[in-house]
Amino acid sequence: MKVTIDPDKCEGHGRCFGQAPALFDADELGQGIVIGDGSVPVELAEAARLAQANCPEYAIEITE
């Protein structure tokens, strides 16, 4: 599983890094960014899905 954030959709609400701080962070402008290459360990899969479900702009994409 991998996660990505579409920077054109992200408005910097911070829900992604609030829900899954091991997977997401914020850049210097407060926009969400993926930590590392976006690979999601099995134990963080539910956190990734929760972050995606809570993104008001639908900026987070998960690929299996």
According to the model, what pLDDT value does residue 44 have? 97
Secondary structure of the chain as H, E, C letters = CEEEECCCCCCCCCHHHHHCCCCEEECCCCCEEECCCCECCHHHHHHHHHHHHCCCCCCEEEEC
- Give pLDDT < 70 ranges for the chain: none
List, in order of start, the domains of the chain with CATH numbers: 2-63 (3.30.70.20)
According to the model, what pLDDT value does residue 51 have? 98
According to the model, what pLDDT value does residue 19 have? 94
Span 2-17, pLDDT tens digits: 999 999 999 999 999 9
Does the pTM of the predicted model rise above 0.85? yes
